[in-house]
Amino acid sequence: MILLTIVAATLGCGKSGIERVYVSGSATYDGQPIEIGQIRFVPISPASGPVTIERIENGEYETATTNGVTVGAHRVEIRMYDSYEYEHAPRVAGSASVKQLLPDKYNRKSELTLTVEPGSGSIKHDFELTK
């Protein structure tokens, strides 16, 4: 019984066992930094794990608040918002969302990908989007 408790406590604490890699870089649209936006790393089968979502500010992103991106192939979705509208939008449930400014080919229908290899440590990857 004591051994079972120790094993359960060990498995339940600390890291989830999913390897993550810190990813950072720049995001531009037609040569201009994406002032405010969002980047999502969505695992592509057979890769698994949670979706990593981070904010883009002044053309830069980093996965520090989510502890990185899981290992494997990911579809990358990028969204860009009008900074004034984003900062002044109501933050209450049921309110209208802020209009997304990039073409669907970079988010809802994105074909952007990034493969994160095991043991990578950290990756710098820039996204240069065009019209």
18: confidence class by pLDDT, cuts 50, 70, 90: confident
Give the Å distances, CA to CA, from 40 to 70, 71, 94: 12, 14, 23
Which residue has tokens 């520090």? Answer: 64
Separation of alpha carbons 130 and 101, rounded Å: 13
Check whether 95 has a pLDDT greater than 70: no
Q: In this model, does residue 43 exceed pLDDT 90?
A: yes
**What is the model's pLDDT at position 25?**
98
Contacts of 36 (CB under 8 A, 6+ apart): 55, 56, 57, 80, 81, 82, 83, 86, 87
pLDDT band, residue 1 (cuts 50/70/90): very low
